[in-house]
Amino acid sequence: MKSDTERKIYYTEKLHRKKSRLHVHLSKDLRGKLKVKKRAILVREGDTVRVMRGPHRDKEAKVSRVSTVNRKVFLEGISTKTARGKEKPLPLEASNLLLLALEATKERKEIFSDEAFKKKEVKKAAEAKAAEAPKAAEAKAGEVHGERSEPSEQKHKGEAHEHGHKHDAKPHEQKSNTIR
């Protein structure tokens, strides 16, 4: 079809057709646990995905919201700041995501084997302990040599950082936006 016809179809689609554009590719691990051969399935809240394209590439996060009307997926922890400094979730295209872990539903239980829904909590707990061990060793080594760890705010007051700004002794007061 001509590109203008494709564009017209895309923007005038009915809701059930828009939903078909929210399918996310499955990881090789999940594809191996399928009963029925599929390459992509519809993304849901609670699924764990990896970002494959864009500035947040290789980040893994849980799906916090799926907007069928806008054909966008929102992830926990991936956000942008507005001009006023407010955190706003960043909308991502479903085609730029890879599904790593599933949220169990009746339909998905028919498609996947039971192994696909087992949580990897044991693995995560072992990784967390391994990450904490070097930090604890560094803290003990610092105490042995007579060094004390100070909060970063107190340590750097009045000194310029590597990136050029200074911390003032007093925090800035916010001006109110009221008209007098």
CATH number, domain of 90, equals 2.30.30.30
pLDDT of residue 106: 87
Tokens representing 77?
A: 């922890």
| 110: pLDDT strictly greater than 70 | yes
Distance of alpha carbon 106 from alpha carbon 130, whole angstroms: 36
Distance of alpha carbon 25 from alpha carbon 50, whole angstroms: 10
**pLDDT by residue (tens digit) across 111-146?**
888 888 776 554 455 455 556 666 555 655 555 555
Backbone φ and ψ of 34, nearest 5°:
-80, 145
Would residue 133 count as lying in a domain?
A: no
pLDDT of residue 122: 42
Long-range contacts (CB closer than 8 Å, 24 or more residues apart) made by 26-30: 26/98, 26/99, 27/98, 27/99, 27/100, 29/100, 30/99, 30/100, 30/102, 30/112, 30/116
Give percent of the chain above pLDDT 90: 50
* Domain housing 87: 3-113
Would residue 91 count as lying in a domain?
A: yes
pLDDT of residue 111: 87
- Mean pLDDT over residues 37-44, rounded? 92
Range with top average pLDDT, 35-49, 100-114, 161-175 = 35-49
**Per the structure, how many domains does the chain have?**
1
